[in-house]
Amino acid sequence: MLETLIRWGAYLGGWLLVAGPLLQSRLELERERSHLAEVREAVRATAPPSRPSAVWWLFPPAALYLARQRQSAYVATLTTVLTPAQLANLARYFAVARAWMIVAAGAALIALKETFELAHHMHWGTPGFWALAAVALLCIAALNGAASAYSDHRDRRH
């Protein structure tokens, strides 16, 4: 009984470790987004690269090479259009996003391990593992959606 309770706690704790970084990253990225309004305007004013002809996809390596070349040229153009402060804000935004993504990915690995151990302990097998993981992911998505809706509602009131 106690072992079962501990395994359920580890399962819930593992998935809370996933939810926490996702919620925190959303909060921090919303705060960082306010500094990116000028960057968005500059990006909108700069014409995006044209796509390679669909014919190139008959030879995918060439199509990928052409798409990468055009994307690199576009990024080079943007670096000449954006000010150093705007580039620093953009780099900070991506650094914050990347850092929280790494934390959440590590937590997801722990959560999956705990989910597997719970399913194994309960003798639910692979279907039980996937069901537990799906329930946890749905709960995290609902929590993140509710937090986002609450934040939007709060921002509109002020």
Answer yes or no: are the C-beta atoms of 121 and 3 closer than 8 Å: yes
**How many Cα atoms within 13 Å fall on the side-chain side of residue 9?**
6
Residue 17's nearest CA partner among 143, 98, 107 is 107
- Counting residues of the chain whose pLDDT is more than 90, the rounded percentage is 63
DSSP secondary structure of 52-69? PPGGGGGSHHHHHHHHHH
- What are residue 109's phi and psi, to 5 degrees? -65, -40
- The residue-averaged pLDDT of 120-146 equals 96
pTM for the structure as a whole: 0.76
Which position has the higher pLDDT, 148 or 25? Answer: 25
Burial of 104 (0-12, 13-18, 19+ CB in 10 A): buried
Q: Is the pLDDT of residue 158 over 70?
A: no
Per-residue pLDDT of 18-28, as tens digits, reads 999 999 999 89
Residue 147's nearest CA partner among 25, 10, 32 is 25
Amino acid at 144: N
